[in-house]
Amino acid sequence: MSYRKGSKVWVEEKGEGWLEAEVVDAKERAVVVLTSQRKKISVLPEKLLPRDTDEDLGGGHVDDMTKLTYLNEPGVLYNLKRRYALNEIYTYTGSILIAVNPFTRLPHLYNEYMMEQYKGVRLGDLSPHVFAVADASYRAMVNDSRSQSILVSGESGAGKTETTKLIMRYLTYVGGRAVLDDRSVEQQVLESNPLLEAFGNAKTIRNDNSSRFGKFVEIQFDKTGRISGAAIRTYLLERSRVVQINDPERNFHCFYQLCASGKDAELYKLGHASTFHYLNQSKTYELEGTNNEDEYWKTKRAMDIVGISRSDQDAIFRTLAAILHLGNIEFSPGKESDSSKIKDSTSNFHLQMTATLLMCDPDLLVSSLCSRSIHTNEGIIIKALDCAAAVANRDTLAKTVYARLFDWLVENINKSIGQDVDSKAQIGVLDIYGFESFKHNSFEQFCINFANEKLQQHFNEHVFKMEQEEYKSEKINWSYIEFIDNQDMLDLIEKKPIGIIALLDEACMFPKSTHVTFATKMFRNLSSHPRLEKTKFSETDFSISHYAGKVTYQTDSFLEKNRDYIVAEHCNLLSSSRCPLLSGLFTSLPEESVRSSYKFSSVASRFKQQLQALMETLSSTEPHYVRCVKPNSVNRPQLFENQSVLHQLRCGGVLEAVRISLAGYPTRRTYAEFVDRFGVLVPELMLGSYDERALTESVLQKMKLDNFQLGRTKVFLRAGQIAILDVRRAEVLDNAARRIQGRFRTFIARKEFVKTKEASISVQAYCRGCFARKMYKIMRETAAAIILQKHVRRLIVQRNYQEACSAALLIQSCIRGFIARRYFSTIREQKAALVIQSFWRKRKVAMLFQHYKRATIAIQCAWRQKLARKELRKLRMTANEAGALREAKNKLEKKLDDLTLRLTLERRIRAAGEETKLVEISKRDKIIETLSAECAAAKSSARSEHDKNLLLQRQLDDSLGEIAMLRSNKILKAEEEKQNSNLKNIVKSLSEKNSLLENELSTARKSSDDTMEKLKDVEGKCTHLQQNLVKLQEKLTNLENENHVLRNKAFNISPKTVSEKFSASIGLPNSEQKHIFETPTPTKHLAPIPHSTGTRRQKLPVERHEGNHEILSRCIKENLGFKDGKPVAACIIYKCLLHWRAFESERTAIFDHVIEAINDVLKAKEADGRLPYWLSNTSALLCLLQKNLRSNGFFGTPSRRSAGSLGLGGRTGQVRNPACQLFSLSLVGRGDTLAQVDARYPAILFKQQLTACVEKIFGQLRDNLKKEISPLLSVCIQAPKSTRAQPGKASKSPGAGAQQPSNSHWDNIVNFLNLLMDTLRENYVPSFFIRKLITQLFSFINIQLFNSLLLRRECCTFSNGEYVKAGLSLLEKWITDVTEEFAGTSWHELNYIRQAVGFLVIHQKRKKTLEEISQDLCPSLSIRQIYRICSMYWDDKYNTQGISNEVVSAMREMVNKDTANLVSNSFLLDDDLSIPFSTEDLSMAIPATDYADVELPECLHLHPSVQFLLKVS
């Protein structure tokens, strides 16, 4: 591929893997690129990979990597890196899920609400999630009746176990349990994890808790899709680790835990781990952050949970201790050649301990270790073993015991969980170790990588199958696509007779074989294989080119680790053990096996068989893949190491899947996306309407591309073709940019020319102006000189004249000043006298007013105190019987005493204030006297000054003609003026003092006024407290009235009656005791009525009301409709109950019948359609009960009525007093003037049951509406394809308004709301209920739309925001049309979705700061929700960039800080399921119903029980 200047590329780099770069110079054989680190390097074109030029648009990442424009290694890597920086840890690659370990808690991704969101949703519709994969497997199992498997792979620490837990948790959520159980399958499997980790996990080079076995959790389901059982299958346990480990690895955790167990370790004679051969081969005994003793007790607790008995636990730990002691047994050469014996006393001690712990014979143990028996026809031959053979024999025994112990543990765990052998389908979750490549790789890595090669082949077949299925669905020709798998690698390892495993087994059969002979034979037979290489510096090491890379293996210990003999002596030894657990693990061998002491069985062969069984299990299921990735080696959040992730992607087969995609058609685009991107190549065909498929074909033909495929909805391109199209597109865009630049430069040049021309004209005009101004200046100076001479002459004459005038004016002013000062002094004296008089009169009146005011307040306080004491005495008299009321009164008395004390304090403070005022007034009088004295002194000085002025007058009269005397008089005048100014200052200071005194007086008055206001406030509080006291008395009276019923019931029932009732209740039929309604009924709280043989008065009302139950049932079951907006059924029922005096009956079952009948109607099939009708009726009946019943009638003596007066319906003819009957009927007919009825206990309980019934109907109606509107909302959150913006054709300016919805989805919601309003109005549901219902419905709309917006990235687009905004405008119009009476605060309930959509459609998002977004644009949204929207947003209309990186980083830091502090850091909204009203709200909001004019329907006229209603009408 050729690159041009400006092309965006990827360049390979050792440290980071790949770097972003841009071509700055393209030569024939080399390309110079500028990397993101601002370095220029020259590379070959073959070493570069193309990069998408538009990757920064749309958020810079995709949730499915098949959508990448260039599906290559760096594209995959950096897409994961960008998503990981946004805490988007899940990404699809087709149907494969990649999960990057976040190393931090993200509970909002895994709560129950999130599981509900993914339930039943097609894979890919919502954001990538492990729940989506689990749901896809579950739905495939249910729909296809085929078992599924989920393969979770990744290296140690990548999160495989946590991902497995989440998958099982989700399957438990959707599958549930077929039978009741205390623990879920997830809990049972997870509870066994500590046990399996202790016995199957160990420290490796890369992970401290690496699983050294494969685990396949099989969750079993029945026919209905519910979980019926589970089982754990284990594969490929690394048995050789028991006897041999490398530094710095460790053996299995259980050994170290047992050594650190304290008393238990002493019991088994165990010391520190460093004293045992099987553990001290590595110097690592402790793990950072892990306490071995604590882990030991956790393991024991796990055994208790699984159900392992104490005796079995003791046997398990004795066996582990025996293995450790067994490893310390050493051998030395015996007396005979090729024989061995126990080396020394230490080894003998460990031998005795081993025999003791295994409960076997020590001599038999020595014999089984140091010799072997051969059975022949002539007899048994005992052969001694040399030291090396004895050590191998010892290690074989240790590995065999541990492996069988591990299998026994797994079997017991499965028994604890509970398997279903009859299950119809299963979902298996495989958690197995990943590909391993270390500096030193031995036999274990060879087996593990062999298993991963097998799984990779299965994975490749699945990926290729998925590719073929997509090609089939798109109906394209794919038969010529080549697919290269790794079968040659598998043949190299497992093929017989010259595979590596076959050669290894053959070498192990010969005792004299070594790793050198094995390597020599392997290279001789397999040297021509392309995947096998011989290393340069070793004769025995070999390298294999696996799918994930080349691995070099050291064969030094291959033979020892592969040998796994089944020794008859070992089986006989342990089967004879006195420990039941051990003897059960080793049953006696068959006779043919006994003939040979050693039965050869290699580890590699068994590994191969187990692997084959696993592959057969996987092949029988439909696979799903989850690849876990560890982003860094230090387990820190928000740290992404490129090289490590690349290695894991190769090991996990993700890049292999990319390679398979590259072999076919890696680039797939829908026709609309292809036209949007490359339609600029054929602008002549973009005019008017066009067919997208035909246009796509035209573009490809114009570019002369071959081997592309056109499917039904997508175009499929070969590798590299998209780059050719991008190059041509870049050329077209560059040419267009050049044309735009040329036009723009022309515009700039012309603009500069016009500016220059205008400037030259301006300069010429300026020069001419300067010359004209210079000539004008000369002329003006000449004229000014003439004028100046004229004015100088005039000035001289004028000055002489002014001197004469000033002398005359000075004399006149002195005379006039003298007269004015004399007049001013007279006026000032009069004014001062008036001020003093006014102050004195004001003080006298104020003192008199204060005296009257104090007297009035004292009288008022005394009178109010008297009234309060009188009222307190009344309250004390009325509250002697209620203890709670006494406490309230005591509190009020205390408050009254406090107020009295405050009042007295205020009085004292006021008296003290009056005293201080009197002192201040006296001080002010003294000050006024001093001021008057100063005024008198000022008057005397003024008089003396007056005399001086007279003298000066005379002197002036004498010296009028002399100019020298005038000058001296001027000097004297100036001195007098100074003295006058001093006097003025003195007067001014006195006036200021007066003003200060006036201010102090006004402040004192204000303080007195404030005191009076405080006293008034105290009086108001006293009256308010008195009113509250009255209200509390009323409430307490009502509560005492209702509670008195229960006390009377308890007092009136004798022990004998109770025993009779109990005996009678035993004989009641079951139908009467059945729970019919969720709310309590009287029959559940009242004892059953006994059958009595006494007088007629002891018979129950229920026996006399049986004939009237039918009429109530008909009123409830039939739709009687409404009259003038009043529910007929509720009014008829209330009239009947009122006429039959049911509210006043102490014992009646008629209320039970009403409640049961209403519940039966609500449980019917057509009940949903009648919910508005019954909401109207039950609420009306409840309001009638609240307004017309009072619960204090039982305080008086019940009126004695004859038996006939209690009769109902058919027994009306037995009434002894007809006048009483007519009076009762007249009361029924006059509902507006009817007095309140005294209600007894059954009536009060009936009111409570009816309240619960109203709440139930409201909740059921609300839930039904939510179910009906949910499907409508699911199609409204995302704009249809036809309404989405197309960047290539967009011509609307950014300032234009939002687009109008072009489909009927939002209209369907509006029609649904209109139909709902019509239904509610037809059934005359009170506006109070309609308002609450509509408000909760709009709250549900807000929650559903907002949550869907945050879960689906394709919804967080600019065009989709316009679409939803247009739909919300329709809802706003609907709310306005139905008025606030019915809609209430519904528009406010849509705050979250309105602000979120408003944020999507604003322009210039990069200029917005965090404060503007969080405070102005989205004040209701949390930072976590805003961050979620910003991370998912992309502009599909104008291709503009989103929020700036600085704002996103700031939000990410805030989210990370709040994560640890929040109880629930979910960004989703929760639905409100509460009932939004109380009984008091109903009584205040719903008006009273006048039932007097509601007539009996014609269908009920013939019924005898309601004839009284006809007579009244």
> Out of 7, 87, 137, 156, which one is annotated catalytic?
156
3-state class percentages of the chain: helix first, strand second, coil last, to nearest 5: 65, 10, 30
CA-nearest of 1451, 1398, 1401 to 1424 is: 1451
SS3 429: strand
Strand-strand pairing, 214-221 and 227-235: antiparallel
Active site residue 436: yes
- 3-state SS of 1231-1244 is CCCCCCEECCHHHH
- Residues 622 and 136 sit within 8 Å (Cβ to Cβ): no
Number of H helices, E strands in the chain: 49, 30
Query: Does an H or E element contain 567, and which?
Result: strand 566-567
Q: Which residue is associated with the tokens 């000062």?
A: 821
Q: Which of 710, 660, 673 is nearest to 466 (CA)?
A: 660
Interatomic CA distance for residues 1251 and 1486, integer angstroms? 14
Contact 343, 332 (CB under 8 A): yes
For the record, the structure tokens of 997 come out as 């005194």
145 is catalytic: no
Q: Is 74 exposed, middle or buried (0-12, 13-18, 19+ CB in 10 A)?
A: buried
Maximum separation of any 2 CA atoms in the chain, in Å: 182
Amino acid, single-letter form, for residue 1336? Q
> Of 641, 652, 632, 651, nearest to 16 (Cα)?
641
Active site residue 588: no
- Are 1442 and 1364 in contact, with CB atoms under 8 Å apart? no
The SS3 of residue 101 is coil
**In the structure encoding, which two tokens stand for residue 1472, read together?**
């409100």
What does DSSP say about strands 1189-1190 and 1237-1238: parallel, antiparallel, or unpaired?
parallel
CA distance 1178 to 1159: 12
H-only helix segments in 538-590: 558-562, 568-575, 580-585
Find the helix or strand (DSSP H, E) in which 918 lies: helix 883-958
| Residue 252: burial class (beta carbons within 10 Å; 0-12, 13-18, 19+) | buried
Distance from chain centroid for Cα 1197? 61
Catalytic residue among 69, 95, 210, 368: 210
Annotated catalytic residue within 75, 154, 157, 679 = 157
The residue assigned the tokens 């139930």 is: 1256
**Would you call 452 a catalytic residue per the annotation?**
no
Q: Are 678 and 729 in contact (CB under 8 A)?
A: yes
Radius of gyration, alpha carbons of the chain: 51
Buried b (16+ CB within 10 A) or exposed e, 861-877: beeeeeebeeeeeebee
Which amino acid appears at position 842 of this protein?
A: K
Q: Is there a catalytic annotation at residue 311?
A: no
- What is the distance between the alpha carbons of residues 543 and 1009, in angstroms, rounded to a whole number? 103
The residue annotated as part of the active site, out of 207, 437, 513, 545, is 207
Give the C-alpha separation, 425 to 621, whole Å: 10
| Active-site residue identified among 149, 211, 292, 1386 | 211
Q: How many CB atoms lie within 10 A of CB 1123?
A: 15
Q: What is the distance between the alpha carbons of residues 692 and 671, in angstroms, rounded to a whole number?
A: 6
Catalytic residue among 72, 137, 161, 1347: 161
Residues 519/538, Cβ–Cβ less than 8 Å: no
| Distance (Å) of CA 648 to CA 152, 486, 629, 981 | 13, 18, 6, 101
Query: Does residue 124 carry a catalytic annotation?
Result: no
Residue 1447 contacts residue 1414 (beta carbons within 8 Å)? no
Alpha-carbon gap, residue 1034 to 1052, rounded angstroms:
27
From the list 561, 563, 583, 556, the residue with the least C-alpha distance to 572 is 583
Among residues 436, 467, 656, 1060, which one is catalytic?
436
Active site amino acids: 156-157, 161, 207, 210-211, 434, 436
